[in-house]
Structure 1
Amino acid sequence: MRTRHALRAAIAFAVVAGTVAAGAQPAPAVSPLGSVAAAAATTDTPSDPPLPEYPGLPPRGDTSAAVPTTGIPCDDNGSDLRPTRDQVLDRAQSWLDVGIPYSQSRCYENRYGDYRTDCSGFVSMAWGIGGSGSGHWTGNLLDKADKIARSSLKPGDALLRYTGDPHQNHVALFVKWSDAEHTKPVVIEQTGSSDTIRDTWSESYAAQYTPVRYNHIQEEDTRPYDSFTGDAKADLIVHSGTDVAVRQGSGNGFADLGVVSSGWGRFHGLQITNGMGRLYFADYNADHRTDMIVHNGTDISVRLNTTTGWTDLGVVTSGWGRFHGLQITNGMGRLYFADYNADGRADMIVHNGTDISVRLNTTTGWTDLGVITSGWGRFHGLQITNGMGRLYFADYNADGRADMIVHNGTDISVRLNTTTGWTDLGVITSGWGRFHGLQITNGMGRLYFADIDGDGRADMIVHNGTDVSVRKNTPTGFSDQGVVTTGWGRFHGLDTTDGMGRLYLA
C-alpha cells in the first residue's frame, strides 16, 4: 500500500489544475493566474471545492469550518518584516492553533495580517511578507527567499517544490528534523483535507523539495529589539537631578551600573524655573543600544550610546520648540521616538493637535510620511480642558513595528501598526484611571511600555507610588509579575513637592 507522502506527489495540489477526484469541483487557480483572481475580486467568491483526502489525516472538524474568512484579494500587509526564527514559528502556530480552512480563493486575518489560506499564503504569513496577502505563490516565493543547502535548514526556513506542474507545487514551513540523520523533516503546512497541520515527512517525499530561506529572517542575536546595554531586555534609566544613571534589566530586576551622563538638570520635561527641554531614549542607529535623544528648545540632537560613553552627532532636526508636551503658551503637541517601519531605527512620531504623523529616520535625514492617524487632540497627557488620556508607541505584537497604545480614562487599548493603517484590537486591560502621570486628584502614578523579558513584545510597567511592577505581555493578556524594584516615589516626572526626577524604560 502506498504511503501518504508517496500519494501527495500525485494528488496534493491537483486541485490547482482542476483535476481532483471524480465528483469534485475544480479549485480556483492560485493568484498568478490573474483571470481567476480578478474575477474573485469583482464577483461572488465561489465556495471552497471538495479537496483530496490525504490518507491517514483526520477530516476537517467543526472548528475549521467556523473560522471566518473573506474573499480574495487579501488586504495589504505593509512592508516586509524582519522576523526572528522564533517569531516565524509563533506566527505559524497562530494558524495551527485554529486550523484554518484551506482555500485558494479565501483570506484569513488575525493579529499577524491578512493572507490567502493556501500553502503559499500560510508561509507568506509566517514570514511576514508585505504587500497583498494574496500576492505570493509557489511560483514567485523565490522573489523573497534564497535556495540553501539541506544541511543548512533551520527552524523557520521552508521546503519548496515548484516544477511548473500545478499537480506538484507546494511549500511547507520547516520546524526541525525528526531523526538524527536529518532526513525526515517536521513541518507545518496548509493542506487540502485537514487544513493547517504539523506533520513529519518521509525521506523520499522530502527529497523532492528545495530548502529555501526568507531573505529577511533574523538570527536570534540580531533581533530588532534594543536596550541601553543591547541585550534586548529593557533597562531602567534614572534621571535624578542633573545625572542620568542606568540599572541593567535582567527580566525580573535591575543591577545598578551607575551614572552614565551628567548635566541634564534642566531637561526633565517639567514646567520648572529655567527648564530647557526633555530627554528620550531610543535606538537611533539600529545597533540595538538605546541612544539619548535631546530635545533642547527647538532642536533635536542625538548622542549615540557606545556603552562606554557617548558620540555626539549634533542637531539632527529643528523647529520643535512647541512640541515639549508641556502646558506652555502656544504649545502644539509632543514627540515620541519609536521604530515605526521595523528597520531597527527609532523614527520621530509627531503628535500635533489632533494628528499623528511620522518622520522616518534614514540616519542622514528624515522622510516625512505625513499624517497616519487623526482624532487624538485630547490624548496629549496634559491637564488640558477635556483631556482624556495619553498615547504610547511600543511594539505590542513582536513584529518589529511600534504600535499605538491608547490610555483612555481607565482603559488601555491597542492599535496594531500595519504601516498602511491600524488594526484595532480593542481594550486589553482596564482599571488605570489614576495612572496617567498627571497632577490630578488621587493620581497614583504612571505607566510605561517596554520589553522587559526580551521576547519582543512590550510589557506594561506600572509605577505606583514608590513601587515599579511588571505585567508581562502574553498572547492572552497581561500576567502580573509583581514588584521588581522600589523606592521611586519621587521619580514620577511631576512637579510634586520634593520631586527628584523621572524614570525611563529603554
Structure 2
Amino acid sequence: MRCTTALLTVGLTATVLSAVTATPALAGSSIGGNITRSEILSRAQYWVDEGVPYSKTSYYADPQGTNYRMDCSGYVSMAWHADQSYTTWTLPSISTDISNSQLLPGDALNYEAEHVVLFGGWEDKAAGTFTYFAENNSSVLTNKYSANINGSSLAGWPTSSYQAIRYNHTVDDPAKPAATGFADGQGTLSVAHTRDGQLDTFITQSNGAIARNMETTPSGGWSGWAAGFAPENAAKSVVTGVHPDGRVEVFALQTNGGVSRRYQTSPYGAWSDWETFAPANSAAQIKVARHSDGRLSVFMLQTNGGIARKYETSAGGSWSDWASFAPANAASSFAVGTHADGRMDVFAVQTNGGVTHIAETEPSRGWGEWTGLADAGAANTALSAGASSNIAVANQKDGRLNVFIVQSNGGVSRNYETSVNGSWSGWKNFASAGAVLAAAPRAGVTPISGSNISVGAHDDGRLDVVILQSNGGVARAYETSPGGSFSGWEVLADAGSAASVEATSHSDGRFDIFVTQTSGGISRNYETSPGGSLSGWKGFAPAGAVKTY
C-alpha cells in the first residue's frame, strides 16, 4: 500500500486519536531543534509501545503531546521531533542525502514517491543487515523490523529506490559515562564506542605497553590484538574518549605518574604521535568525559588526593591549562556521570570514606559546589589505587542518575534520583555486607587499574550491576523491567576466577561483561542477541596479558 502523505494538502479532514495514558518520555529536544540519535530511537519506540495504527488522515501524540500524522512520513517526522508532519516528498527539505554505508541510528531511508523508514542500526554492517522502524500500512501497527540493505526489496518497495537521508538537526549522543561502559573509564582495559558503533579496545600489557583490538564492524567480529600502540614501560593504565566527529583519543597514565595522549587525526584515520599531557608525578587516576556541547574534559586524581581538570576550550579544539577541581586529600577515587538534561556530575569517594559530588549548573557551563552524599566511613577505600573501584554511576532508561558504592563492610549501597534531574533517594541497601571484594590489592593478581563494581545497560534500558565478589567470583543483579525492581544476585563466574569487572554494551544493544582474570588474562560473557541469553565465558586476551600490581 502506498505511503504517500500529501493528502492533507487537498482538504481532507484529519482525526486526532487520543493516546493511551502513559508516562511521558523525557524530551531532551525541542520541536524542530537538535536531537540525539538515542532520543530519536526512543521516540520511535514510543509509538511501537503504544501500538499506533496506520492512517493517512489521523494524528497521534508524541510522548510530550504534540500530534503527528500516523503514516510513514508522519512517523519519521515524530521520531525526529520535527516542526510538522512532513511527507516523503518534503522530508528532503529538512535532511541531507548520505550514502548507505554512512547510515547511523536515527537516519532514514526515503523512497520519495512511496515510502520512508527510520534506520534503527546495523545488525551486521558487513553482511548488510539492519533494523528499522516503520508505519507500513493499515494492516499492521507501528513496529520494528529487520532487513538487508543488499536485498531486492525493503518494506515492499525496491531497495534501490530508497535514498539514505540524515535529519539536519541530528547530533551524536554524548560519550557514555564510565559506568555504562568504559567509553571514558580508566583501567587495564578501556573501550571506546566509535561513531559507527564499533567497540575499540585498548589494554595496558604486563610489560607496560598498550595493545589494541577493534570490532571490524559494529557488533561484529574482532580484528585481533595489535601490539605496539605504545611502547614497553609506557603506561600503567589507559583511558579513552571519543570526539563528536568520531575521532578516538587515548590517554595513558604513565609509569612515572605523568599523562600522555595520542589521538586520531581524522575519524578512523591515522594516529598522532604520543604527546605529554601532564608532567611526571602528577596523576593517580584519570577519567575522560564529554560535555553536551561536545568538548572533552579530563579529570585527574592527583597524587596528593586532590582532583585537577583540563578541558577543550571548543569541541575538538585546543586544551586549557590544568586547574584545581578539588583540594588535596579530598578524594581516593571518583566517577563521572551525566544527568538527563546534559549536566555533568562528578562523584568522589573521599579519603575518609565519605561520598561527595559536584554538578554543572547548566549543561556545559559553570560548576556548583561540592555537596555531601554519604558520611565518613560509608565507602570502602582499600582499593583506591584502582580506577572507580568502589563507585559506579549509570543512567536509568528515563535518564535518572544512579550511584552505587562499595561500602566499607563490602556491601553495596545505591542512591538514585527520584525524578529526572530531581532529588536523591538517600542510600538504599543493594548487596549485603561481605558481598564485594574490599581487600587491598594482591600482588601479581589485581589489575593495576580495575573495578570491583560496574554497571551496564541492556537494549531496552534495563540496568545490570556486575560485582567482583569477595571470593573472587562474579555476580550480577539486573532490573527486571526498565526503571523497575532488581533481580536477586546471579553468580556468573566461580570463586577465585576474577580480579576485576567491567560492563558495557554493543551498538545493537547486546550487554557485554569483560573480566580480568586472576591469571592476568581477559575473558568476556555477552548476550548472543539483544536482551537474550549470555554466551558463557570466552577468552579475549591470554593469561599474563594485562598489567598487575
TM-score (norm 2): 0.47
Greater Cα radius of gyration, structure 1 or 2: 1
| Structure with the higher fraction of residues in helix conformation | 1
